[in-house]
Amino acid sequence: MNIDFEPQTEDDAAAIVRAAAQRSARLRIQGGGTRGICAAIEADAVLSTRKLSGIVSYNPAEMTMSALAGTPASEIEVKLAEHRQMLAFEPMDPRGLSGATGEPTIGGVFATNSSGPRRLSAGAARDHLLGLRFVNGEGIVIKSGGRVMKNVTGLDLVKLLAGAHGTLGLMTEVTFKVLPLPPASATIVLSSLNDAEAAGAMARVMSMPSEVSSAAHLPESVRGRFISGRLPDGPATIFRLEGLPATVSARAEKLTSACAVAGPVTVLEDQDSRALWREVRDVKPYADGTERALWCVSVAPTVGHQLVAALRLETGVDAFYDWQGGRVWLRMEADPEADLVRRFIKALGGGHARLMRASSAVRAVTPAFEPETPAVSVLSARLREKFDPKGIFNPGLMG
């Protein structure tokens, strides 16, 4: 779809939304349009935030930054890196999966609550978002939160808007927490464990005081597609250590000896370690230019492998695990099997599955977001009505 509106200021954005609300014209809200989540949206016009761009303030000593919503995420990461800082929640670059060519925006990162492998230890995007300004469905500019680390003043609309995929408001400016870039990174690779053994090993390692920042399991089917095949043979259960060089090497030594009883252990140093986790973050094995259905599943960490094992008895799937096994990237060989996937998740204690990629034909008939229980969906619908009474923001998205 072509872009109909590209507001250059917050006032412009509010005026456009007000006018749309008056006409009950439905708007598709997008940043760079790189996440491939728009297929289900039935809109009359497209509004992009990409001209609402620029870092508004950055104070490295206070570890906070404010930026307009359309600022490219890459511009922010470069700026932060100059001061040896980072977005600790590690948002993915979605273009590998979606095949899109635009620039992911910081607004898109927070609107989708996009978080990568370090989410396990550092929290999600929503945990780092301190404040925001947004235009509600009536075209009124609202601010929530602030620019300090601790703030419980009033209802936390910041959390509510994070991950709402633009259905509750059009973000215009975000203020977020940043953290020091760890000077050293190492990855312990434990080879040869099957999925169930890996789940046990990850739970054991996460119960040790080794401050592992990320834990993932890459079964044999995907292992070769990471870091150009340089991972050792066999399934790879991987643990990331980050921090000062001396600290990282001391912990790596301890973790290596703790893991050695379970199988062969290799240590990846800086370059390889960083590259590997970037590829885990961006779901490299499934960024394959196809439209095969891909689910992002969130369950209790020890349940991930059970889900995959149960599905394998019914249908063709390929999978790898992040977040200690609690995030499953699940690629379907053919049919998306939404009902099956969701039924099994429920049977295994709950969680949810989001359709991250599929052909437009599949998307048209498959709910991308987990259907909510009746009582919760009543609440969600009421909230949506309170933020966007005319239902003009991203209709069709999120239940």
> For another protein, which is the closer residue by CB, 334 or 376?
376
Q: With binding defined as CB under 8 A, does residue 142 bind another protein?
A: yes
Compute the distance between CA of residue 182 and CA of residue 89 in angstroms, rounded to an integer: 13
- Helix spans in 207-355 (H): 220-223, 245-259, 270-281, 304-312, 338-347
| Residue 229 or 374 with smaller CB distance to another protein | 374
Site for another protein in 280-339 (CB under 8 A): 298-303, 323, 326-327
Alpha helices in 123-207 (DSSP H): 125-128, 157-161, 195-206
We find the least distance from the C-beta atom of residue 296 to another protein, in angstroms, to be 9
CB of 97 to another protein, least distance (A): 18
Name the one range near another protein by CB under 8 A: 18-26, 214-222, 286-294, 367-375.
367-375
Residue 103 or residue 173: which is nearer to another protein going by CB?
173
Which parts of 248-267 interact with another protein (CB under 8 A)? 250
Q: Which amino acid is located at 265 in the chain?
A: V
Q: Is residue 347 at the binding interface for another protein, with CB under 8 A as the rule?
A: no
Residue 64 binds to another protein (criterion: CB under 8 A): yes
Contact flag: residue 140 with another protein (CB under 8 A): yes
Contacts by residues 72-76 (CB-CB < 8 Å, ≥ 24 positions apart): 72/32, 72/103, 72/104, 72/105, 72/106, 73/103, 73/104, 73/105, 73/106, 73/108, 73/109, 74/103, 74/104, 76/106
Q: Select from 127, 269, 282, 288 the one that contacts another protein (CB under 8 A).
A: 127
Token reading at 149: 């680390």
- For position 56 contacting another protein by CB under 8 A, the verdict is no
CB of 327 to another protein, least distance (A): 7
Would you count residue 279 as binding another protein (CB under 8 A)?
no
Residues 208-237 that bind another protein (CB under 8 A): 208-211
**Shortest Cβ 132–another protein spacing (Å):** 11
Residue 399 binding another protein, by CB under 8 A: yes
Query: What are the start-end ranges of the H helices in 188-269?
Result: 195-206, 220-223, 245-259
Q: How many binding residues for another protein (CB under 8 A)?
A: 86
d(CA 91, CA 77): 10
Footprint of another protein on residues 153-172 (CB under 8 A)? Answer: 153-160, 162-164, 168
Query: Which member of 350, 359, 364, 365 binds another protein (CB under 8 A)?
Result: 350
Q: Which of 100, 141, 196, 310 binds another protein (CB under 8 A)?
A: 141
Which residue matches tokens 């006032």? 11
Footprint of another protein on 86-125 (CB under 8 A):
113, 115, 119-120, 123-124
The angle formed by the CA atoms of residues 338, 339 and 345, to the nearest 5 degrees, is 90
Q: Tell me the CA distances in angstroms from 83 to 29, 62, 76, 182, 351, one per residue in order.
A: 32, 12, 11, 12, 38
CB 245 to another protein: min, Å: 10
Instruction: State yes or no: residue 187 binds another protein (CB under 8 A).
Output: no
Q: How far is the CB of 67 from another protein (least distance, A)?
A: 17
The tokens for 377 are: 């969906």
User: What is the DSSP-derived secondary structure letter of residue 148?
Assistant: S
Measured CA to CA, the distance from residue 283 to residue 266 in angstroms comes to 22
Shortest reach from residue 198's CB to another protein, in Å? 12
> Which residue's CB is nearer to another protein, number 227 or number 262?
262
Told to check if 143 binds another protein by CB under 8 A, we report yes
Residue of 277, 281, 254, 280 lying closest to 265 (CA atoms): 254
Single-letter residue type at 167: T
- Measured CA to CA, the distance from residue 290 to residue 97 in angstroms comes to 9
